[in-house]
Structure 1
Amino acid sequence: MIASIAMRRGQTLIRLAGIWAIWLVVALITSVQTYVAGLTTGTPQPWLTAFGNGIPWYSVWALLTPLVVAVARRFADERRVAVLLAVHLGAGLAVVLLHSVLYVSLNAMIYGNAPWAPWSKDLLLLKLTGSIHVQLMIYAIIVGIVLGARAYRTLRDREIVAARLETRLAEAETAALRAQLQPHFLFNTLNAISALVPDDPVTAQRLIARLGDLLRLSIDRHRSQRSPLADELDFTDTYLAIEEARLGERLRIVRRIADEALTVAVPALLLQPLVENAVRHGIAPLVSGGTLTIEAGLAGGRLRLVVADDGKGAGEIVEGVGLGNARLRLQQLYGAGSSLEIETAPGRGFRVTIMVPR
Structure 2
Amino acid sequence: MAAEDEDGVSTRITPQRLTRPALLLGFWTLIALSYTVSAGLSSISEGRAAHWPRAMVWNFADFYLWMLLVPLIASLGRHTAGHGWRRFVAVHVPASLCIALAHVVVHMAIFWSTCGAGSMPVSTFGAFLRMEFAYVYHFALLLYWVILAVLRGLESQRRLRDERLRNAELASQLAQSQLRTLRVQLQPHFLFNTLNAISALALADPIQARLMIARLSDLLRLTLEERHALEVPLARELELLRCYLEIQQVRFQDRLSTHIDVAMDTVHAAVPSMILQPLVENALRHGLLDKPEPGQLQIVSRREGGELYLRVDDDGLGLPEGAAEGLGLGNTRARLKVLFGEAASVVLARKAEGGTRVELRFPFREHVTESAA
Residue 135 (str. 1) matches residue 140 (str. 2): yes
For residue 264 of structure 1, report the CA deviation from its aligned partner. 1.5
Asked if 2 retains the 8 angstrom alpha-carbon contact of 1:76 and 1:147, the reply is no
CA–CA separation in structure 2 for the residues paired with 1:162 and 1:59: 39
Question: May I ask how many residue pairs the two structures share in their alignment?
Answer: 356
Amino acid at match of 2:274: L
Q: What SS does structure 2 have at the residue aligned with 1:277?
A: helix
Root mean square deviation of aligned Cα: 2.8
CA–CA separation in structure 1 for the residues paired with 2:252 and 2:87: 82
Could you say which residue in structure 1 is the equivalent of 2:100?
Answer: 96
Residue 296 (str. 1) matches residue 307 (str. 2): no
Could you say which residue in structure 1 is the equivalent of 2:184?
Answer: 179
Asked if 2 retains the 8 angstrom alpha-carbon contact of 1:221 and 1:269, the reply is no
Deviates more, 1:5-14 or 1:22-31: 5-14
Structure 1 stretches lacking a partner, 5+ long: none
Asked if 2 retains the 8 angstrom alpha-carbon contact of 1:277 and 1:322, the reply is yes
Could you say which residue in structure 2 is the equivalent of 1:224?
Answer: 229
* Superposed counterparts of 1:1-358, under 5 Å: 2=5, 6=11, 15-38=20-43, 42-43=46-47, 45-46=49-50, 48=52, 50-51=55-56, 53-73=58-78, 75-77=79-81, 79-112=83-116, 116=120, 120-314=125-319, 315-316=321-322, 318-345=324-351, 348-357=354-363, 358=365
Amino acid at match of 1:191: N
Asked if 2 retains the 8 angstrom alpha-carbon contact of 1:313 and 1:347, the reply is no
Q: What SS does structure 2 have at the residue aligned with 1:166?
A: helix
CA distance 1:312–1:143, change in 2 (3 Å): same
What whole-Å deviation, never above 9, does each CA across 1:28-87 have from its counterpart, x for those lacking one? 3333443454465x33543836555433322332333333233333x2445031221121
For residue 294 of structure 1, report the CA deviation from its aligned partner. 0.5
Structure 2 stretches lacking a partner, 5+ long: 366-373
For residue 295 of structure 1, report the CA deviation from its aligned partner. 0.8
Asked if 2 retains the 8 angstrom alpha-carbon contact of 1:108 and 1:117, the reply is no
CA–CA separation in structure 1 for the residues paired with 2:279 and 2:34: 69
CA–CA separation in structure 1 for the residues paired with 2:322 and 2:10: 70
CA–CA separation in structure 2 for the residues paired with 1:316 and 1:39: 92
Amino acid at match of 1:356: F
CA–CA separation in structure 1 for the residues paired with 2:309 and 2:30: 56
What whole-Å deviation, never above 9, does each CA across 1:325-354 have from its counterpart, x for those lacking one? 001011112223322222225762211111
For residue 250 of structure 1, report the CA deviation from its aligned partner. 1.7
Identity among equivalent positions (%) equals: 35
Amino acid at match of 2:354: R
Amino acid at match of 1:82: R
